[in-house]
Structure 1
Amino acid sequence: MTLLHSPRIVVALDYADAASALALARQLDPKACRLKVGKELFTCAGPAIVEQLQALGFSLFLDLKFHDIPNTVAQAVRAAAELGVWMVNVHASGGRRMMETTRERVEGLSHRPLLIAVTVLTSMQQDELAELGVQGTLEQHVLRLAALTRSSGFDGVVSSAQEVQPIKQACGAGFLTVTPGIRPASAAADDQARILTPAEAIAIGSDYLVVGRPITRAEDPLAALHAIRQEIGEVV
C-alpha cells in the first residue's frame, strides 16, 4: 500500500552520542521510516551526524526548534537546507517576521526543506500556558499559531494529534501536521502529556508521526517499527 507521505513514521534519535544513534539507525530501514535529530544529539555530534545518517539513506527532520531574531533563524535554517535535511522547524511564537524572513531566505535554494513551526509543546498543559500569560484555551492558542504559520508561508506545524482536526479545518487539508506524543496502546506515556496511538493519529489526519522510545527502546526496533506501520495501514 503506497501513501502520499510514505514513510510517515519519523523515529526520534534521542541519544547523547553519535555511536548510539548510528547503531540504532543501522537496525532500521530508510524505506520504512525517516529519522529525527534533536538538540541533544546535534549538540553532541554536530552536522557530521546529519551527514552520516543521510549516507545510510535516511531523510532527516532536524528538530532544533529555532527561536531568535529573524536574521539569525533564517541563516540557521538556510544552513540546515544546505545540509540537505528533509524538514526543519522553528517556534511559531517567534512571530511572522521571523518566519517570513526564513521562508524567503531558502526559497531560491536548489534544495528547500519542509518548513514547520512548533505551536505548543506536547509536554505542556493548560495551567502551564496560563502561567506564561497565554489567554484562552490551549486549543485556541494552537490555532492562532497555526494560522500565523500558514499565512507566513510555512508548510505546516508540529502539534499534538489532538489538535490536528481543528488545524486542518482552519488551515486546509494540505497544511502538514507533524505529531509527536505518539504511543502505541501498550507503551508508557513517559513525559508526554497529550498523546494518541498511531492509528488514532492517522485516523484524524496526522501527516507524520514522531515516535521515539516505543521503537528505540524496543528489543527489536525494526519489528517495532513494522508493527506501527502495520497499525497505520502503511504495510499490508
Structure 2
Amino acid sequence: MPSNRLIVALDLPDVAQARDMAATLGDAVSFYKIGMELAYGGGLALVEEFSRAGKQVFVDLKLHDIGATVEKATAQIARLGARFLTVHAFPQTLAAARRGVGDSPLQVLGVTVMTSYDDSDLAACGYRLNVRDLVALRAKQAQEAGIAGLILSPEELVATREAVGRALLLVTPGVRPAGAALGDQKRVATPAQAFARGADYIVVGRPILAAPEPRAAALAIQAEIATATS
C-alpha cells in the first residue's frame, strides 16, 4: 500500500512527545522510525505499543560491534516485534545480524553511507572509495549476507536498483519535500524523485515534525507518494 511507504522518523527526546506526535498524525501515518535519541529516552517500549495499535516500527540503531554482541542485540529487537532494524553494512556485522534474526519476521537493513556524508567526508575517514563505489560494494555484501535491504541516499538509488533488481528493499532517508530546508543532509531528493529512482520506502522526519500542521504535512507527502507510485 502506498500509505505504508512513508516512514515518519520520531526524532524526539522522550516517549510522551512521541506518543503526542503519533496521536496528532493519527491514520495519516502507519509506519514509524524510532532512532537513537528516542530509543535512549525509553522509546523502545513504543515498539510493542505501536505494534499492538496496528502500526509498523523501524528501529534505527545502526548496530556495529563484535559479532556476538550484534547477534544478541538483534535477537532482543526481534522479540519486540519491530519490522526493520538497521546495522552498519560491514560484512561481519551483517552476518551477525542475520543470525540474530533467527526465524522472526524482523528485517535487517544495512546502512551504506550516511546521507550527511559526501566523497570528501569518506576521504577524511580514510576510505579509498567514493560514495557511489562504496554503496555498490555494500549492496553486493548485503546480498551475500542474505539481509533484507539497504539504507541509502536518493543519489545512489538508480544504480543500486539496477544492480540488485528486486532482491533488496531500498529504504531512503534524506528525503525533503520541494522547498524544505536540507538541515545536515547532503544527498537528498523529493518524495516523488525517490520513488521514481527505485525506493521502496522513504524516511521523513523534520519536514513533518517541525511543520505547523504535522498531519497536513504527512498527508501531502502521502498524496505525492500515491501519485508517484500509481
* Distance of 2:197 and 2:190 partners within structure 1: 11
Shift of 1:31: 6.6
Match for residue 101 of structure 2 among 73, 82, 106: 106
For the 8 Å contact 1:9–1:211, the answer to whether it is kept is: yes
Instruction: Supply the AA of the counterpart residue of 1:229.
Output: Q
More off after superposition, 48-57 vs 181-190: 48-57
SS at match of 1:14: coil
Deviations 1:104-143 (A, max 9, x none): 23232xx321110100000011111001121132100111
Report what 1:209 is aligned to. 202
Q: What TM-score comes out, normalization by structure 2 length?
A: 0.93
Instruction: Please state how far the C-alpha of 1:216 moved relative to its aligned partner.
Output: 0.9
Question: Does the CA contact (< 8 Å) of 1:117 and 1:158 recur in 2?
Answer: yes
Deviation string, structure 1 residues 124-166 (Cα, Å, up to 9, x no partner): 1111100112113210011111111111001110000110111
User: Does 2:74 match 1:77?
Assistant: yes
1:35 corresponds to 2:28:
no
Q: Is the 8 A contact 1:159 1:180 kept in 2?
A: yes
Q: Which runs of 4+ in 1 moved over 4 A?
A: none
Taking the aligned partners of 2:18 and 2:4, their CA distance within structure 1 comes to 19
State the alpha-carbon separation in 2 of the partners of residues 26 and 144 from structure 1.
40
| RMSD, aligned α-carbons | 1.7
**1:88·1:113 contact (CA, 8 Å) conserved in 2?**
yes
Task: Report percent identity of matched pairs.
Answer: 39
Report the alpha carbon displacement of residue 58 of structure 1 after superposing the two structures with TM.
1.5
Indicate if the aligned counterparts of 2:28 and 2:218 stay in contact, CA closer than 8 A: no
Which residue number in structure 1 is paired with residue 131 of structure 2? 138
Q: How many residues align?
A: 229
Distance 1:143 1:65, change over 3 A: same
Which residue matches 1:158?
A: 151
Matched, 1:198 2:195: no
Alignment of 1:6-17 (within 5 A): 6-17=3-14
Provide closer, same or farther for how the CA distance between residues 112 and 30 of structure 1 changes in structure 2, counting only shifts above 3 A.
farther
Structure-2 separation of matches of 1:47 and 1:201: 28
Query: What SS does structure 2 have at the residue aligned with 1:233?
Result: helix
Q: Distance in 1 between matches of 2:20 and 2:28?
A: 17
The TM-score, its normalising length taken from structure 1, stands at: 0.91
Match of 2:22 in 1: 25
Question: CA contact under 8 A between 1:30 and 1:57: conserved in structure 2?
Answer: no
1:218 Cα offset (Å):
1.4
In the alignment, structure 1 segments of 5+ residues that lack a partner are none
Q: 2:62 aligns with which of 56, 65, 68?
A: 65
Bigger mean CA offset, 36-45 vs 129-138: 129-138
State the distance in 2 between where 1:222 and 1:170 align.
Answer: 36
